[in-house]
């Protein structure tokens, strides 16, 4: 669950991408892709396993350095 601003709507889903501006793209159960700006990110649920990023996202992050 990720709050989108103080007291704002919340979304549930899987992180599938990171945009150039740092927004996290979340894929919801309905198949919608929602971009959440970094200043609005907050984790409310404890992960069920180790945190991993998709390979393509890791590759792009490595390319920036």
Q: According to the model, what pLDDT value does residue 11 have?
A: 81
pLDDT given for residue 43 in this prediction: 63
Q: For residue 63, give both structure tokens.
A: 């390319």
- Mean per-residue pLDDT for 1-28? 79
Nearest to 55 by CA among 14, 12, 17: 17
Mean pLDDT of 14-20: 89
The pTM for the full model equals 0.58
Q: In the predicted model, what is the mean pLDDT of the chain?
A: 79
Work out how many domains the chain is built from and give that number: 1
Euclidean distance between CA atoms 60 and 43, whole angstroms? 23
Domain of 49, in residue numbers? 2-64
Provide mean pLDDT across the span 10-33. Answer: 89
Q: Exposed (0-12), middle (13-18) or buried (19+): which is 26, by Cβ within 10 Å?
A: buried
């Amino acid at each position: 669950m990720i709050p989108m601003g103080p007291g704002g709507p919340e979304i549930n889903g899987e992180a599938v991408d990171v945009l150039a501006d740092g927004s996290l793209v979340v894929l919801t159960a309905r198949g919608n892709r929602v971009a959440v700006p970094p200043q609005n990110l907050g984790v409310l649920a404890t992960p069920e396993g180790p945190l991993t990023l998709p390979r393509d996202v890791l590759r792009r992050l490595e390319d920036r350095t």
